[in-house]
Amino acid sequence: MAVMTLIDSVRSTLAEEMRRDESVVVLGEDVGKKGGVFLATDGLYDEFGGDRVLDTPLTESMIVGVSIGAAIAGLRPVPEIQFADFIFPAFNQILSEAARMRFRSNGAFSCPMTLRAPYGGGVHGALYHSQSVEAFFAHIPGLKVVIPSTPYDARGLLRSSIRDDDPVLFFEHKKMYRSIRGEVPDGDYTIPIGKANVTREGTDLTLIAYGLMAQFALEAADLLESDGVSAEVVDVRTLRPLDGETLLASVRKTGKAVIVYEDNRFGGYGAEIAAILAEEAFESLDGPIVRVTGPDVPGVPYNHVLEDWFMPNPERIAEAAKRLAAY
């Protein structure tokens, strides 16, 4: 059992999958000799060569469109979009093509590819290197959307994603790449896509989050404990398909829910969770559903004071939860 960072987990899992299955290929901007701007693909070029670890032109639509074609022809591409903020030139390929290929061909064609992209703020990335983009994609039937919050989950979920027969968007929070360390066992374990994880048990309320916010929720639960509030934490892990059962079971038990997401509040992914809880756990709710989110401004500002103002943090989560607990 090794202790490693989130990015080491991603990198070593990519290498293992490429060793296991020669149809797995990596492509993207600077993924080759440089090993990616975050070094998520470092060393892959040396081990597998330039054919299977391909530096592409700066053309995101091409990265995804070529991956779709290659997937149809039998490869399992793992394209990287350098920052999630730059995924939008490829939006049409993801929405109109990858997501719809199976449905529109009535099951004849599929797109087994895993599109990786670092997302999220807190690293002085400003408007165009900090965005949370998951809501756009979780909205689309035909796509799977995965966001790990630990090195252990990153490996198990990345394995499942690469082996999945449908297109998966795998978002990695860039602030977690080196700040989060954890145990990652050897051996070929996987974590099924579609299973949330109760990362802390509690009785007074449920904190629901994913990615960096799932880590912050755990820190908030510590703060709440010292205030005598017992918080349960559920890490969503896979946004689509969503494990509604685990969320509902927790909220039915605690009667209160705080949903945390870093994205803009309006129409963010957590709004869908709120809707499901309102529709399905209505009679168990013992207080309003609360959301702690980024503000509704068009992007994360650069200056550290402004960035801190934007980002949800453990204190802010704990504060909201405390008020809800007292409701």
Closest CB 272 distance from other proteins, rounded Å: 11
* Residue 29 in the binding site for other proteins (CB under 8 A): no
Among 8, 17, 134, 166, binds other proteins (CB under 8 A): 166
Work out whether 280 is an interface residue with other proteins (CB under 8 A): yes
Q: How far is the CB of 74 from other proteins (least distance, A)?
A: 6
- Shortest distance, position 58 Cβ to other proteins, whole Å: 10
Q: Which of 68, 117, 154, 218 binds other proteins (CB under 8 A)?
A: 68
Residue ranges of E strands in the chain: 2-5, 24-28, 53-55, 76-80, 114-119, 144-146, 168-173, 181-184, 197-200, 205-209, 231-235, 238-240, 257-264, 290-294
Toward other proteins, which CB reaches closer, 164 or 219?
164
Q: How far is CA 186 from CA 16, 156, 160, 178, 199, in A?
A: 11, 11, 16, 20, 21
Pick the closer one to other proteins by CB: 142 or 314: 142
Closest CA relative to residue 115, chosen from 143, 136, 140: 143
Contacts of 284-288 spanning 24+ positions with Cβ under 8 A:
284/251, 284/252, 284/255, 285/251, 285/255, 285/256, 285/257, 286/255, 286/256, 286/327, 287/205, 287/255, 287/256, 287/324, 287/327, 288/324, 288/327
Using the minimum distance from each CB to other proteins, give the nearer residue, 42 or 97.
Answer: 97
Stretch binding other proteins (CB under 8 A), from 117-125, 140-148, 214-222, 319-327 = 140-148
> Over the Cα atoms of the chain, what is R_g?
19
What binding mask, one character per residue, do residues 286-325 give for other proteins by CB under 8 A, x or -? ----------------------------------------
Binder of other proteins out of 278, 296, 303, 304 (CB under 8 A): 278
Exactly one of 30, 39, 43, 61 binds other proteins (CB under 8 A); that residue is: 61
Q: How far is CA 12 from CA 39, 47, 158, in A?
A: 11, 12, 11
Cβ-proximal residues to 115 (8 Å cutoff; 6+ apart), any chain: 64, 67, 78, 79, 80, 81, 87, 94, 167, 168, 169, 170
Does 272 interact with other proteins (rule: CB under 8 A)?
Answer: no
Closest contact distance (angstroms) between CB of 30 and other proteins is 16
Shortest CB 260 distance to other proteins, Å: 21
Taking CB under 8 A as the criterion, the residue among 41, 67, 114, 254 binding other proteins is: 67
Spatial contact of 215 and 149, defined as CB atoms under 8 Å apart: yes
Closest CB 59 distance from other proteins, rounded Å: 4
- Restricting to residues 77-136, name those near other proteins by CB under 8 A: 89, 92-93, 96-97, 100-110
Residues acting as catalytic residues: 129
Please identify, among the stretches 33-41, 181-189, 253-261, 280-288, the one whose residues bind other proteins according to the rule CB under 8 A: 280-288
Torsion of CA 175, 179, 185, 187, to 10 degrees: 40
| First vs last C-alpha separation in the chain | 44
Residues in touch with other proteins (CB under 8 A)? 25, 51-52, 56-57, 59, 61-62, 64-75, 89, 92-93, 96-97, 100-110, 141-142, 144, 164-166, 194, 241-242, 244, 275-276, 278-280, 282-283
